[in-house]
Amino acid sequence: MAIVFNEIGYFKDPSPGSLPPDYQEFLLSLAGPTVIDISGQDTSRCRVITSLLHGNEPSGLIAIHRWLTSADKLVKPITNIRFILGSPEAASLAPLLSHRYLPGGKDLNRCFGSGKNSGYYLRANLIADAISQVSPEIVVDLHNTSGSGPAFAVCHGITANVLSLSSFFCETIILSAIRLGALLEQDFSCPTITVECGGCNDEFAHELAYEGICHILACETTRYFHQEREVEVVYQPHRLRLREDINLSYGGQNSGFHGVTLKADIEQYNFTGARKGEVLGWLDHNRLNNLQLTDEHGTDIIGEYFCVSGHRLLCAADMRIFMATTIKDIAINDCLFYVIKTGH
Ligand SMILES: [Zn+2]
C-alpha cells in the first residue's frame, strides 16, 4: 500500500445517515488521516479529540463513530469539536485493528516534534498543525493499552483542569517525564491528556471512551470543570525494557529459554500491582543484564526495582505496574511495562 503522508481527509458536520452505520465499514471508508469538524453552539471555541494514532487501539474510533452516527448528535456540542483519526491505513490492514503501525512503517505517536518533515514525521506535523489551527481549549488523545487493565490518563503537567478533564474518563493519572515524540508532549497551550481507555478488546474501554466524549461535548466550560471523581496522581513511572536483541518468551515456569521469560498472566499486575518478593518471570544467565530500567536522569535503577533468586525475576519493592502486555511484538519494541514503587 502506498502511503500518502502530505494529505489529511476532511469532513464537516457529516449527517449520521451519510456515514456507514458500522464502525469497521466507517474505518474502511477512510483513505488516510481524517479531520471531522463538528459545529458547536459557541463556534468561537474548539475542543480536540484525537484517536487511532495507533491502528490497533479502537476505543476512540468506536466511540467517535458511535457519537457521529447516533441520535445524541442532535444535541449540539457546547463548543466546536475537532475529531482527528491518525492512522486509518494501519488500522485497516487485515486483520482489522490489529496493527499499531504498518509493517515497515513507523510508530506515528513517536514522530511528533521531531523537527523532521517527511514521511511519518510529516504526518505527525500535519496532525499537530490541525490541532494548533483551532486554538483548542483542551486536547484529549484516546488510546488503548495492549494488554487488559484499568483506564488511566497520562499528562506532562498537572493542573486543576488536567485533573478534572481526566476525571471524565478515569481515576488515575500518570505524570510522565518520558519524552518519546508523542502527541501528548506537544505544547498546544491548553490542558492536554492521553487517556488509555483500557485494553484493546475490553468492551468497558469502548464505553468509557464514549461516555468521556459525551461528557466533554456537553460540558459548559473548561475553566470551571468540576471533578467527576477523585483522581489519584502517580508520579513518573519508568519503562522496563529489554536490552537489544534479547529474546522474550511467556510461560508459567522457568523453561530455560534464552533471555527473559515473563509470566503468561503478567497482565493481571496491571490491576493488582506487585508486592516485594513477587515472581514476575525468569531470566537466563545474564540475569538483570537482560533488562534496562532508568530514571528520568538516565541513571540505571534496575537494582532498586528487581532482583534475581535462582533464575527467578523478583520484585525488590512493592510497585504499581502499567501497560504490561503479552503481545510480544509491542513488549519487545516498546516496553515490557511501566513501573513505579509504592510505599517505602
Ligand atoms: Zn497507543
Interval between CA 310 and ligand 1 midpoint (Å): 36
Instruction: Give the residue numbers spanning the domain of 117.
Output: 9-235
In a domain, 28, yes or no: yes
Q: Which pLDDT tens digit goes with each residue over 145-198? A: 988 999 999 999 999 899 999 999 999 999 998 889 999 999 999 999 999 999
**Peptide bond preceding 95: is omega within 30 degrees of 0, i.e. cis?**
yes
Cell of 181: 515524540
Cell of 227: 471533578
Interval between CA 53 and ligand 1 midpoint (Å): 7
State the Cα–Cα distance between residues 76 and 39, nearest whole angstrom: 7
Interval between CA 25 and ligand 1 midpoint (Å): 22
CB 170 within 8 A of CB 80: no
Interval between CA 182 and ligand 1 midpoint (Å): 10
- pLDDT > 80? residue 225: no
Q: Stretch 282-309: mean pLDDT, rounded? A: 96
Interval between CA 20 and ligand 1 midpoint (Å): 25
CA 70 to chain centre: 25
Phi, psi of 14 (to 5 degrees): -65, 140
State the Cα–Cα distance between residues 344 and 339, nearest whole angstrom: 15
Please tell me whether residues 242 and 173 are part of one structural domain: no
The sheet that has 279-283: what strands, in order across it?
Answer: 248-251, 260-263, 279-283, 312-315, 306-309
Long-range CB contacts (< 8 A, 24+ apart) of 98-104?
Answer: 98/55, 98/56, 99/55, 99/56, 100/54, 100/55, 100/56, 100/57, 100/330, 101/54, 101/55, 102/1, 102/3, 102/55
Residues having C-beta closer than 5 Å to ion ligand 1:
54, 57, 143
Interval between CA 41 and ligand 1 midpoint (Å): 31
Single residue among 202, 220, 235 that ends a domain in this structure: 235
Instruction: Give the pLDDT confidence score for residue 287 in this predicted structure.
Output: 97
Helix (H) or strand (E) holding 251, with range, is strand 248-251
Instruction: Give the pLDDT confidence score for residue 256 in this predicted structure.
Output: 85
Rg (CA), the chain: 20
DSSP SS3 for 159: coil
Single residue among 235, 268, 284 that ends a domain in this structure: 235
CB 234 within 8 A of CB 175: yes
CB 173 within 8 A of CB 166: yes
Please tell me whether residues 37 and 173 are part of one structural domain: yes
Q: Which pLDDT tens digit goes with each residue over 11-54? A: 999 999 999 999 999 999 999 999 999 999 999 999 999 999 99
Q: Stretch 296-315: mean pLDDT, rounded? A: 95
In a domain, 214, yes or no: yes
Interval between CA 144 and ligand 1 midpoint (Å): 6
Single residue among 176, 209, 235 that ends a domain in this structure: 235
Please tell me whether residues 153 and 20 are part of one structural domain: yes
Q: Which pLDDT tens digit goes with each residue over 109-141? A: 999 999 999 999 999 999 999 999 999 999 999
Q: Which pLDDT tens digit goes with each residue over 280-295? A: 999 999 999 999 999 9
